């Protein structure tokens, strides 16, 4: 299943080639193009504006230094998204206490493919509820639903297993349902 991501911005190959060769104006355009998605991803995972700004800085430095070696086997946006995800997750791991929802004994959830658009008021309530979740659980939910990473990618980036990602997603969604008082049956859209 493919999820939309704010990073899915196609750039002209010529611009990327110029940036790879060290063209400052081309890199500035890359920076302007991806600064907002990188900062937003970092903020969603870390819930801290200063840390999100630091992640943006570090990601763009890594992009700048890594561009000459960028092989273009995937779109540049996917490469930058991966760097941003890794940098934000590294900061989560560095925090003195990584909290997540315990209970690895739960069975793995089935992906039912259920996604529906939210209204602005619902988005605000969901944002408030997400902020109450442990950082790791919130990160798993965002990386899966917001950025479209697979459980394998999330588990690998967190130094954990695919099952850990799936169980954190299930526990997080269940906790959100409890906080938001949502029944297991999804609303019908007629």
pTM: 0.65
Number of domains comprising the chain: 2
Please indicate, yes or no, if residue 4 is contained in any of the structural domains: no
Assess contact for 88 and 42: CB atoms under 8 A: yes
Closest CA to 45 of 77, 5, 11, 90: 90
Closest CA to 140 of 181, 184, 107, 99: 99
**Same-domain pairing of 86 and 26:** yes
Domain boundary (59, 76, 94) is at 94
pLDDT for the residue numbered 50: 93
Q: What is the DSSP secondary-structure string of 132-148?
A: HS-HHHHHHHIIIIIS-
The pLDDT tens digits for 44-80 are 888 889 999 999 999 999 999 999 999 888 899 999 9
54: CATH? 1.10.1740.10
Domain that holds residue 30: 13-94
By percentage, how much of the chain surpasses pLDDT 70?
77
pLDDT for the residue numbered 104: 44
Please indicate, yes or no, if residue 21 is contained in any of the structural domains: yes
Please indicate, yes or no, if residue 104 is contained in any of the structural domains: no
**Same-domain pairing of 86 and 152:** no
Please indicate, yes or no, if residue 72 is contained in any of the structural domains: yes
**Same-domain pairing of 20 and 67:** yes
Overall average pLDDT of the 28-42 stretch: 95
CA angle (76 as vertex; 73, 77 as ends), nearest 5: 130
pLDDT for the residue numbered 22: 93
The pLDDT tens digits for 113-170 are 444 455 566 667 767 877 788 888 888 888 888 788 889 988 888 888 899 889 989 9
Alpha-carbon distance of 54 to 64, in angstroms, equals 15
pLDDT for the residue numbered 76: 93
């Amino acid at each position: 299943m493919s999820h939309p991501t704010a990073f899915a911005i196609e750039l002209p190959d010529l611009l990327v080639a110029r940036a790879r060769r060290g063209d400052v104006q081309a890199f500035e355009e890359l920076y302007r193009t991806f600064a907002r998605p990188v900062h937003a991803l970092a903020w969603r995972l870390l819930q801290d504006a200063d840390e999100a700004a630091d992640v943006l800085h570090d990601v763009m430095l890594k992009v700048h230094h890594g561009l000459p070696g960028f092989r273009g086997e995937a779109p540049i946006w996917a490469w930058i998204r991966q760097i941003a995800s890794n940098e934000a997750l590294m900061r989560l791991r560095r925090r003195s206490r990584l909290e997540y929802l315990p209970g690895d004994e739960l069975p793995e959830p089935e992906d039912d493919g259920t996604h529906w658009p939210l209204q602005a008021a619902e988005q605000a309530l969901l944002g408030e509820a997400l902020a109450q979740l442990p950082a790791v659980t919130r990160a798993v939910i965002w990386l899966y639903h917001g950025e479209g990473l697979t459980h394998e990618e999330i588990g690998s980036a967190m130094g954990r297993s695919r099952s850990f990602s799936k169980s954190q997603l299930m526990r997080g969604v269940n906790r959100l349902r409890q906080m938001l008082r949502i029944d297991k049956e999804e609303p019908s859209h007629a």
